């Protein structure tokens, strides 16, 4: 028996995946396009410690860009980092959402 998990069909097709924050609200996170990978990597967004993405102005601008591009509400409305703050996201929510973006992008 293998320890490997099956890759969800949505990931293979590049479809957004649902993410539920600790506030109970559901969001969609879309995977990176292949052509976006170098830009995402150059932006050096922290996948672990989100405190750096919020407190460092350059990192926060990069985070804003990728949240606007890849995150939306379950109803398809675009969101900003400020929206996530207004929705009472925790630092852990942000960490898990950024990790999900990386995970579903391959």
CATH number for the domain that contains residue 20: 3.30.2220
Look at residue 20 and tell me if it is in a domain: yes
Look at residue 77 and tell me if it is in a domain: yes
Q: How many domains does the chain have?
A: 1
Look at residue 2 and tell me if it is in a domain: no
Length of the chain in terms of residues written: 106
Domain range for 35: 9-104
Tell me the pLDDT of the chain (106 aa) as tens digits. 556 665 555 555 568 999 999 999 999 999 999 999 999 999 988 888 888 888 889 999 999 999 999 999 999 999 999 999 999 999 999 999 999 999 998 7
For strands 26-29 and 71-73, give the pairing. Answer: antiparallel
Look at residue 1 and tell me if it is in a domain: no
Look at residue 71 and tell me if it is in a domain: yes
pTM for this prediction: 0.83
Query: Residue ranges of the alpha helices (H) in 1-106?
Result: 9-13, 37-42, 50-55, 57-70, 81-86, 91-104
């Amino acid at each position: 028996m293998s320890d490997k998990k099956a890759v969800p069909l949505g990931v293979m097709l590049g479809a957004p995946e649902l993410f539920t924050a600790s506030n109970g609200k559901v969001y969609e996170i879309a995977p990176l396009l292949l052509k976006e990978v170098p830009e995402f990597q150059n932006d050096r967004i922290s996948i672990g410690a989100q405190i750096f993405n919020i407190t460092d102005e350059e990192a926060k601008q990069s985070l804003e860009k990728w949240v606007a591009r890849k995150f939306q509400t379950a109803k398809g409305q675009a969101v900003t980092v400020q929206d996530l703050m207004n929705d009472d996201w925790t630092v852990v929510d942000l960490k898990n959402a950024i990790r999900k973006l990386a995970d579903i992008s391959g």
